[in-house]
């Protein structure tokens, strides 16, 4: 009988992340005088496995509060933005079964406005949004484990605690003091 066993289990078999910036142009109903605020809300997304990695499709709303008519009136303009991002997998286990894999996507950084300006001709907004997505593929894979010959593990055979009795717990290497 072999001293090793192959166990089929679910594990993270692929992983990748993508940081992206996008520039959006939004045209308000009035020529803006100034931007009073810009925020991104209502982020929703879904992910699916594709040959090249994971495709994340989603949308978010950009809201811009601005003044117009020489700063005498204010208004909020909203625009929904759709996106499709391909997240390439940096880590990939080639031994997993693709038919029963599960895709997990997580926004590490939800879409956030990093810059909002009035265009040079003064009739629209140019908004820069950044986001970061982490994707994991969970699938079946094989793990090889060692089997104890008698069916029981002898804790004392491989680990000897006596080796650590002479260690000085107050020992600090120079240069690492805070």
Question: At residue 152, does pLDDT exceed 70?
Answer: no
> End-to-end CA distance of the chain, in Å?
55
Three-class SS of residue 12? strand
Poorest-confidence range of 82-86, 111-115, 118-122, 143-147? 143-147
Q: What is the mean pLDDT of residues 5-10?
A: 88
- Tokens 């020489």 -> residue: 70
Q: What percent of the chain has pLDDT over 70?
A: 80
CA distances from 59 to 54, 62, 119, 127 (A): 16, 10, 24, 15
Q: What is the pLDDT of residue 99?
A: 72
Domain residue ranges in the chain = 4-147
* pLDDT, tens only, 18-53: 999 999 999 999 999 999 999 999 999 999 999 889
* pLDDT, tens only, 54-99: 999 999 999 999 999 999 999 999 999 999 999 999 887 776 666 7
Length of the chain as a residue count: 178
The C-alpha atoms of residue 63 and residue 47 are separated, in whole angstroms, by 25
The C-alpha atoms of residue 118 and residue 30 are separated, in whole angstroms, by 12
Question: At residue 178, does pLDDT exceed 50?
Answer: no
In this prediction, residue 160 has a pLDDT band, given cuts at 50, 70 and 90, of low
The C-alpha atoms of residue 174 and residue 43 are separated, in whole angstroms, by 49
In this prediction, residue 165 has a pLDDT band, given cuts at 50, 70 and 90, of low
Q: What is the pLDDT of residue 95?
A: 67
| Sign of the Cα pseudo-torsion (120, 125, 130, 136, in order) | negative
Q: What is the mean pLDDT of residues 138-157?
A: 74
Distance of CA 49 to the CA centre of its chain: 15
Question: At residue 157, does pLDDT exceed 70?
Answer: no
Sorted by sequence, the CB contacts under 8 Å of residue 107 that are 6+ apart come out as 43, 45, 131, 132, 133, 134
Q: What is the pLDDT of residue 146?
A: 85
Query: What residues form DSSP beta bridges with 84?
Result: 57
The C-alpha atoms of residue 57 and residue 136 are separated, in whole angstroms, by 15
The C-alpha atoms of residue 72 and residue 90 are separated, in whole angstroms, by 52
168 or 69: which leads in pLDDT:
69
């Amino acid at each position: 009988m072999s001293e090793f066993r192959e166990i089929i289990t679910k594990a993270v078999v692929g992983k990748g992340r993508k940081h992206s910036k996008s520039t959006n142009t939004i045209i308000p109903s009035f020529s803006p005088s100034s931007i009073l605020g810009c925020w991104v809300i209502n982020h929703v997304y879904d992910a699916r496995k594709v040959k090249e990695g994971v495709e994340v499709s989603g949308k978010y709303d950009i809201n811009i509060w601005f003044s117009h008519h020489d700063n005498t009136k204010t208004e909020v303009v909203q625009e929904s933005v759709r996106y499709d991002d391909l997240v390439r997998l940096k880590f990939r286990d080639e031994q997993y079964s693709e038919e029963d894999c599960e895709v997990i996507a997580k926004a590490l950084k939800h879409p956030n406005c990093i810059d909002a300006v009035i265009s040079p001709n003064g009739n629209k907004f140019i908004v820069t949004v950044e986001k970061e997505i982490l994707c994991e593929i969970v699938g079946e894979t094989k793990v090889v484990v060692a089997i104890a010959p008698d069916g029981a593990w002898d804790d004392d055979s491989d680990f000897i605690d006596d080796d650590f009795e002479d260690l000085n717990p107050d020992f600090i290497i120079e240069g690492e003091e805070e």
